[in-house]
Chain A
């Protein structure tokens, strides 16, 4: 995977978030403050505008630039969370213009660790981690057992989708939804859903190659 592929992935994520903006906001209206889609779409729109200035940079610098842009422009919790995720992934890819499959998985792991650190959160609290952690585990297992990146990431996306379903069955204990306590049951988490969209967009770009 080279920096052109990373740029294509970021661009695909931005388009996906824009097209799912209303759906994410609808989900957030149910159990949050109703701004997840609007905020993320604003953030990724500005990321897309910034991409040309990052085009000739290495993968680490691209991801870091994306993260900083999200922190500056999102305005909700997903800004510092996804911002930290991209910045940590960028650190893991510092100076690299190519990533092996294992390095790609490591970057995702670094991103997830960043979200855990920033949100002081763990799995099972009805957050983006409930999509991302199972996705990483499936991806890593796939790569370790010799699958190619596309097949391993497909397992990851399936695991993330199952994780989103799982968030319907649990009570939120982190984030704005935690104020609702048991009334958060039955609703899927908007953050887990946007994480699923990010992984889906990544897979779509890799498949298109």
Chain B
């Protein structure tokens, strides 16, 4: 199964998105990388790398993040890890994460999940 990592400035937000996603798919490997080591607001390179490692398998990892340093710090982690099967995706954090978790549990490949989750960019709530 493809692993999912949620990167946020806030530990609570990252853990909350993981919590909501898990409601839909208990089996999916999900990891939160939120806040700094001391729990304060910010994005942590170490936490991102550790979260990726936690859910990594040959099936790959998809990373969703909030904005700014979350995006840039994730980019740097990916440049360092330099693996084809770890991807970051630009999409709404909650809707994207829920869908990614469901698709992962359904046995989709990383490429299929990316394609599906990209559709949430234009999805409307009402």
Chain A residues close to B by CB (< 8 Å): 33, 35, 39, 71-72, 74-81, 83-84, 118-119, 175-176
**Complex-state Cα separation, A11 to B70, whole angstroms:** 28
A-B contacts, 10 of them at CB < 8 A, read A35-B41, A71-B45, A71-B76, A75-B43, A78-B69, A79-B73, A80-B69, A80-B72, A80-B76, A175-B68
Residues of A within 8 A of B67 (CB): 176
Contacts A71-B73, A79-B45, A80-B69 known; list 18 others, CB within 8 Å.
A35-B41, A35-B42, A39-B42, A75-B36, A75-B44, A75-B69, A76-B42, A76-B68, A76-B69, A77-B69, A78-B69, A79-B69, A79-B73, A118-B72, A118-B76, A119-B72, A175-B68, A176-B67
B75 on the interface (CB 8 Å rule)?
yes
The interface residues of chain A, by DSSP majority, are classed as helix
Chain B residues close to A by CB (< 8 Å): 36, 40-46, 67-69, 72-73, 75-76
Q: Is the CB of A72 within 8 A of B69?
A: no
Q: Chain A residue with minimal CB distance to B44?
A: A75
Residues of A within 8 A of B68 (CB): 76-77, 175-176
**Complex-state Cα separation, A39 to B40, whole angstroms:** 11
